[in-house]
Amino acid sequence: MALTGMQIYKLLPKTNCKDCGLPTCMAFAMQVAAKQKALTDCPHVSEESKEELSEASSPPMRLVKIGPEGKQFEIGQETVMFRHEEKFHRPCGIAVRIPSSLSDEEALAKSEKINKSVFERVGQTLKVQLCAVEIDGAADPAGRAKLVAEKSEVPLILMGKNADAMKKAAEAIKDLRPLVGGADASNIDGFIDIAASLKLPVAISGKNLEELADLTSKAKEKGIEDIILSFNTENLGDTLRWLTLARRAALRKNFRALGYPALVEVTTKDAEEETVVASAYAAKYAGIVIIDNVEPWELLPIMVVVQNVYTDPQVPNTVEAKLYEVGNPDENSPVMFTTNFSLTYFSVESEVERSKVPAYICVVETEGLGVLNAYAGDKISAEKVVKTLNEQKVAEKVKHRKLIIPGLLPIFRAEIEDTSDWKEVIIGPETAREIPAFLTNNWKS
Ligand code: SF4
């Protein structure tokens, strides 16, 4: 049964030394009770306390780390079924497969493409997190693993069913701590040997959840802790059901045999279908999805789903409320304002960039609300806009006194003109995408 924060606190050293990264032992105890910290995060807890607490206090889903120190991909330790209950903690990682059928040159070229698949969206960097190297069918398993490892800038997954070939590949790059994927009922002993002898995480699949739970229990009995549940995609509905049932068993029933993050290997040959299917798994509840394609149009939809699902619903996405310069604006450049909701700001910023008209964007603090919501919630007013313009010293940047305001707030025009030096308030477009045409056709300093 889960322990309360107070029960855990009683067994801690109570020195408030902060070595766990939290200000007090009580704060640490509350986080352990909430399954957000593991007891081992306190370096001073006694062996007796550890024994007493470890089973009851460990998170219901294990945290698994793939890759070498410094560039590890972490997955797991989730605590809720639904995002609105709290938040999801570790975003699903996209892994791109390097088939064994590729020549060495083709494998290197694909690995290079994976390294370069990095995108910026609303202030965040989105990228492919893992490279999945197919070992079955490779003439030289160790050579193929080493070849890709030398080029890859992301952690590796080794994929195959042949335990002998997988062992050669895993031994060749064991210092990079790859995930060893492909264990099932037919080869579990060989994979347990690889994971145990090389201390690597292992992905295990079963023909149903009962068999999967038996196999993970067997691995755990042999001392293997870092396990990932592996599913394939022969049937979308079944796989989604298994992902959901496994997560529910772990989080709601504290069923340890399924208390691990999940991986789904997408196997469809159709690129569009692959993108759609991978997005569905990323939303519910895969920790890793393995796909084939690496073109931006295929990756970006999945990345955007992951970005949205893993946004903390309790924390508004904001940018700093300050004066931003887009391009190289000068004293004749346009001035506009918007709110500090990051999606609003980055939409405006990217459209100003697209217009090729350098401009100043004054961002008003609205507690992360977009324009209309901020107005409806009384988080923005003409008075607040004027105050922000003054605080950001915008008038010192330009010699004109023209201010472009969002088309959704025409009501601010008269008050800004009456109460500030900004004597020519221009009502701008209602949507960001109209900004380029608006600036090109209307802006004259
Ligand atoms: Fe308390 Fe341990 Fe954290 Fe120190 S490291 S504050 S003893 S819980």
CATH number assigned to the domain comprising residue 168: 3.20.20.20
Q: What pLDDT is recorded for position 78?
A: 92
Residues 6+ apart with CB under 8 A from 217: 257
Q: How far apart are CA 132 and CA 65, in angstroms?
A: 15
| 5 touches ligand 1 (CB under 6 Å) | no
Fill in the DSSP letter of residue 11: T
CA of 23 to the centre of ligand 1 (A): 8
| Strand pairing class (63-66; 73-76) | antiparallel
Q: Which mutation among 9, 25, 45, 49 tests ligand 1's pocket best, with the greatest number of atoms within 8 A of CB?
A: 25
- Do 71 and 119 have their domain in common? yes
Residues 6+ apart with CB under 8 A from 273: none
Q: What pLDDT is recorded for position 56?
A: 66
Residues 6+ apart with CB under 8 A from 130: 66, 73, 93, 94, 95, 96, 154, 155, 156, 157, 179, 288, 290
**157 closest CA partner among 291, 318, 24, 252:** 291
| 42 touches ligand 1 (CB under 6 Å) | yes
How far from each other are the two terminal CA atoms of the chain, in whole angstroms? 69
Tokens of 210: 């009962």
E runs forming strands in 99-249? 118-121, 124-127, 130-134, 156-159, 179-183, 202-204, 227-232
- Do 117 and 248 have their domain in common? yes
Is 244 part of any domain? yes
Q: How far apart are CA 137 and CA 393, in angstroms?
A: 65
Is 327 part of any domain? yes
- Do 391 and 427 have their domain in common? yes
Give me the residues of the chain with pLDDT under 50, please. Answer: none
- Cα separation values, 227 from 157, 182, 215, 218, 281, Å: 13, 12, 10, 11, 19
Q: pLDDT per residue over 25-77, tens digit each?
A: 999 999 888 777 878 889 998 888 877 776 666 778 999 999 999 889 999 99
Which range marks the domain in which residue 375 is found? 323-442
Q: What is the per-residue burial (b if ≥16 Cβ within 10 Å, else e) of 275-297?
A: bebbbbbbbebbbbbbbbbbeee
- Do 71 and 179 have their domain in common? yes
| 19 touches ligand 1 (CB under 6 Å) | yes
Is 303 part of any domain? yes
- Nearest ligand 1 atom, CA 13: 7
Question: DSSP 3-state assignment of 404?
Answer: strand
Question: DSSP 3-state assignment of 347?
Answer: helix
| 28 touches ligand 1 (CB under 6 Å) | yes
How many CA atoms, within 13 angstroms, populate the side-chain half-sphere of residue 162? 12
- Nearest ligand 1 atom, CA 28: 8
Please give the backbone phi and psi of residue 195, each rounded to the nearest 5 degrees, phi first. -65, -40
CATH number at residue 17: 1.10.15.40
- Do 327 and 302 have their domain in common? no
| 13 touches ligand 1 (CB under 6 Å) | yes
CA of 14 to the centre of ligand 1 (A): 7
> Of 309, 338, 369, which residue constitutes the final position of a domain?
309
**163 closest CA partner among 145, 136, 140, 198:** 136
- Do 46 and 75 have their domain in common? no
> Of 274, 309, 344, which residue constitutes the final position of a domain?
309
- Do 304 and 255 have their domain in common? yes
- Nearest ligand 1 atom, CA 24: 6
Total domains present in the chain: 3
Tokens of 432: 């960001």
CA of 4 to the centre of ligand 1 (A): 17
| 15 touches ligand 1 (CB under 6 Å) | yes
| 44 touches ligand 1 (CB under 6 Å) | yes
Crossing angle (nearest 10°) for helices 25-33 and 47-57: 40
- Cα separation values, 165 from 145, 206, 337, 432, Å: 11, 21, 60, 54
Is 314 part of any domain? no
Alpha helix (H) ranges present in 284-367? Answer: 296-309, 342-355
**444 closest CA partner among 422, 426, 423:** 426
Is 346 part of any domain? yes
CA of 30 to the centre of ligand 1 (A): 12
| 9 touches ligand 1 (CB under 6 Å) | no
Whose Cα sits closest to atom 4 in ligand 1? 17
Is 400 part of any domain? yes
> Of 285, 309, 333, which residue constitutes the final position of a domain?
309
- Do 420 and 353 have their domain in common? yes
Q: How far apart are CA 27 and CA 437, in angstroms?
A: 53
- Do 341 and 370 have their domain in common? yes
- Do 332 and 293 have their domain in common? no
CATH number at residue 437: 3.40.50.11600
Instruction: Say if CB 186 and CB 206 are below 8 A apart.
Output: no
Q: How far apart are CA 282 and CA 263, in angstroms?
A: 10
Is 317 part of any domain? no
Is 391 part of any domain? yes
- Do 79 and 198 have their domain in common? yes
- Do 124 and 271 have their domain in common? yes
Q: Which mutation among 28, 45, 53 tests ligand 1's pocket best, with the greatest number of atoms within 8 A of CB?
A: 28
